Structure 1
Amino acid sequence: MSDIEYEVKKMIIESLKLEDITPEDINSEEPLFGEGLGLDSIDALELGVAIRQRFGIKLETVSDEVRAYFANVRSLSRFIGLQQGAQ
C-alpha cells in the first residue's frame, strides 16, 4: 500500500466518521460506493471537501472522468498523485 493510499484511507475514516474500521480494513481495490464500502452521494461530497482540505486539490466539476477516480482507494490515490504533480 502506498503512502497516498494509506492517507486516503485515513481521510475516508476520519472525514466520514466511520467507527470500528481501520485503514487496514479497507481493500484498495474495493468499490467505495454501493457494494463494497457502501458510501453514498453525501459521502462523495464530504470526501471532495476532505480532499480539498487535506491535499489542497479542488474539484472544479464532477465529470465522468472524476467520478471514475472515486471508484476505489487506488484510483482515488492515483488521481490525487496526478493532481499534486500538476501543481
Structure 2
Amino acid sequence: MESVKTLELRVKQCIINRLGLDVSADEIEDDAPLFGEGLGLDSIDALELVIAIGKEFDVAIGDDDMGIFQSVNRICEFIRTARPEL
C-alpha cells in the first residue's frame, strides 16, 4: 500500500503534467481549491483532468463525480474509495 503523501504527490504531478502548469508539486496545497482563486483552472482543464486521472489511476469519473476536482485531497479521497489498494 502506498503512503498517503505518495498518492497526493502522484495526483499533483498528474495535474501539472497534463495541464502543462509552471508550478512544482510543492506549490500546490493539498486542500487548496484547484479552480478560481486556487490554481485558476477552468472547465476545459476539468475535462483534461477527467482523462488524466482516469488513465493514471484506472478509475472511472462520471458526471456526478465532478465535485472531486475541488482539491487534491478530494481527488485522492475519490481514488482511495475507488481503488483501496492505492
Band of TM-score, shorter chain: 0.7 to 0.9
Instruction: Tell me, yes or no, if structure 1 residue 72 matches structure 2 residue 71.
Output: yes
CA RMSD of aligned residues (A): 1.5
Partner of 1:43: 45
Tell me the CA shift for residue 78 of structure 1.
Answer: 0.8
Work out the CA distance in 1 between the residues paired with 2:81 and 2:13: 19
- Verify the 8 A CA contact 1:4 1:81 in the aligned structure 2: no
Tell me the CA shift for residue 47 of structure 1.
Answer: 0.4
Tell me the CA shift for residue 38 of structure 1.
Answer: 0.6
AA in 2 matched with 1:74: N
Tell me the CA shift for residue 70 of structure 1.
Answer: 1.2
Question: What TM-score do the two structures reach when normalised by structure 1?
Answer: 0.86
Work out the CA distance in 2 between the residues paired with 1:4 and 1:17: 20
Equivalenced residue count is 82
Q: Which runs of no fewer than 5 residues in structure 2 stay unpaired?
A: none
Q: Equivalent residue of 2:55, what SS?
A: helix
Question: What TM-score do the two structures reach when normalised by structure 2?
Answer: 0.87
Percent identical pairs in the alignment equals: 39
